[in-house]
């Protein structure tokens, strides 16, 4: 049994011999999570435990990367940052529930369509059988009244088939509309699950999917690809001084500045907390540098004033690091290279852009 399990057992008073072997790993992860809460002096809230538990169990790769980056910087996450990381990496339940509900509705509608199709097949079989009986009676039809009777039957069966076909077609058209509506709703939910709720731009999940796709495209075509990581300078001081509501507004403004400057093929995402990522396909490093520096200047030039008091927030800046794709690089490689350049920008005074091969 691991030291983490023994420590947790001691704290809880649990007799380790009573622990089911299949649960020992769970206890080990829990013990390690509590140790990290103590080590990093994070508040012992449920969200904090969820964060550290997911980290030690490696249940979410993107969360592990974010926490590793945080530890490497030597920073202690605030309750706000913990909640933001949990929302970014662990809170997809609402989207999943919505998808499940739409899926159930879709299956119900599809079952109705299959019933209509089966009804159509059954009606067609009945109509064919009725025509067969009429056909059998044709050789015996000599008298005019006999022919008239057969024609009356034929017309009646035909009218019945026309009426049923019209009803079936109406039902199928209505089901088609409902299925199209459900598909649209499902697409909306999928898009929502890939969006950051605060800023409206893509979230970490969307970024992870997009960077992999762009890397594959660059590898296959030999086209250029750059990745920029951005971090709002001294953002914790903004939250501590003005409160998280103002901090949230700063994040929205920063995301807006990014969105107003990138092209259609580019992709901006909230990477986590006050960090953002910008994927720049088919963009050389020099062009990426000029674009990102334009974003930096525009954001720094914003005059941010509190509406109620008229008090200015002062100049708020951001630092940026840019990496350039080379054949064989993975997403993690590009992130690490961009992250290294971002730290250079931070260490050299902040409010600047550092890029591979440019400075």
Looking at residue 7, its pLDDT comes to: 36
Which residues pair with residue 276 across a beta bridge? 230, 270
Architecture of domain 204-355: 2-Layer Sandwich (3.30)
Length of the chain counted residue by residue: 359
Burial of 160 (0-12, 13-18, 19+ CB in 10 A): middle
Query: pLDDT tens digit string along 107-117?
Result: 565 556 555 55
Positions annotated as catalytic residues are 274
Question: In whole angstroms, what is the distance from residue 294 CA to residue 300 CA?
Answer: 10
Higher pLDDT, residue 41 or 331? 331
Q: How many CB atoms lie within 10 A of CB 267?
A: 22
Side-chain-side CA neighbours of residue 86 (13 Å): 17
Looking at residue 84, its pLDDT comes to: 73
Higher pLDDT, residue 117 or 227? 227
Quickly list H helices, the chain: 3-12, 24-39, 46-56, 61-73, 79-89, 93-137, 144-193, 204-221, 235-242, 244-261, 285-300, 331-347
Q: How many CB atoms lie within 10 A of CB 311?
A: 11
pLDDT band at 72 (very low <50, low <70, confident <90, very high): confident
Question: In whole angstroms, what is the distance from residue 226 CA to residue 215 CA?
Answer: 10
Query: pLDDT tens digit string along 178-212?
Result: 666 666 665 655 665 788 888 989 999 899 999 99
Query: pLDDT tens digit string along 113-143?
Result: 555 555 555 555 555 555 555 555 554 545 5
Query: pLDDT tens digit string along 276-308?
Result: 999 999 999 999 999 999 999 999 999 888 777
* Domain boundaries, given as residue ranges, for the chain: 3-91, 120-193, 204-355
Put simply, whether the predicted model's pTM sits higher than 0.85 gets the answer: no
């Amino acid at each position: 049994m691991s030291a983490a399990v023994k420590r947790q057992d001691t704290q809880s008073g649990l007799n380790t011999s009573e622990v089911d072997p299949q649960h020992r790993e769970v206890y080990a992860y829990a013990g390690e999570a509590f140790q990290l809460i103590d080590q990093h002096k994070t508040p012992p809230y449920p969200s904090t435990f969820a964060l550290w538990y997911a980290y030690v169990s490696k249940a979410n790769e993107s969360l592990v990367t974010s926490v590793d980056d945080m530890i490497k910087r030597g920073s202690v996450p605030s309750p706000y940052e913990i909640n933001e990381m949990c929302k970014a990496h662990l809170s997809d339940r609402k989207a999943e529930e919505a998808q499940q509900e739409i899926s159930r509705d879709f299956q119900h509608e599809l079952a109705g369509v299959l019933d209509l199709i089966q009804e159509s097949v059954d009606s067609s079989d009945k109509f064919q059988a009725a025509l067969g009986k009429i056909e059998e009676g044709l050789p015996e039809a000599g008298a005019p009244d006999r022919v008239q009777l057969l024609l009356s039957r034929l017309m009646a069966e035909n009218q019945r088939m026309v009426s049923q076909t019209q009803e079936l077609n109406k039902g199928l058209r209505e089901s088609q509309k409902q299925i199209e509506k459900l598909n649209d709703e499902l697409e909306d939910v999928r898009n929502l699950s890939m969006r950051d709720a605060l800023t409206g731009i893509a979230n970490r999940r969307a970024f992870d999917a997009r960077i992999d796709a762009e890397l594959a495209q660059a590898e296959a075509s030999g086209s250029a690809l750059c990745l920029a990581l951005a971090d709002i300078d001294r953002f914790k001081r903004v939250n501590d001084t003005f409160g998280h509501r103002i901090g949230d507004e700063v994040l929205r403004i920063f995301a807006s500045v990014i969105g107003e400057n990138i092209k259609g093929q580019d992709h901006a995402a909230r990477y986590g907390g006050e960090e953002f990522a910008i994927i720049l396909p088919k963009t050389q490093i020099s062009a990426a540098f000029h674009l990102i520096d334009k974003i930096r200047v525009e954001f720094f030039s914003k005059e941010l004033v509190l509406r109620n008091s008229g008090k200015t927030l002062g100049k708020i800046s951001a630092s940026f690091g840019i990496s350039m794709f080379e054949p064989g690089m993975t997403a993690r490689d590009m992130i690490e290279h961009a992250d290294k350049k971002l730290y250079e920008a931070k260490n050299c005074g902040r409010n600047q852009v550092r890029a591979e091969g440019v400075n």
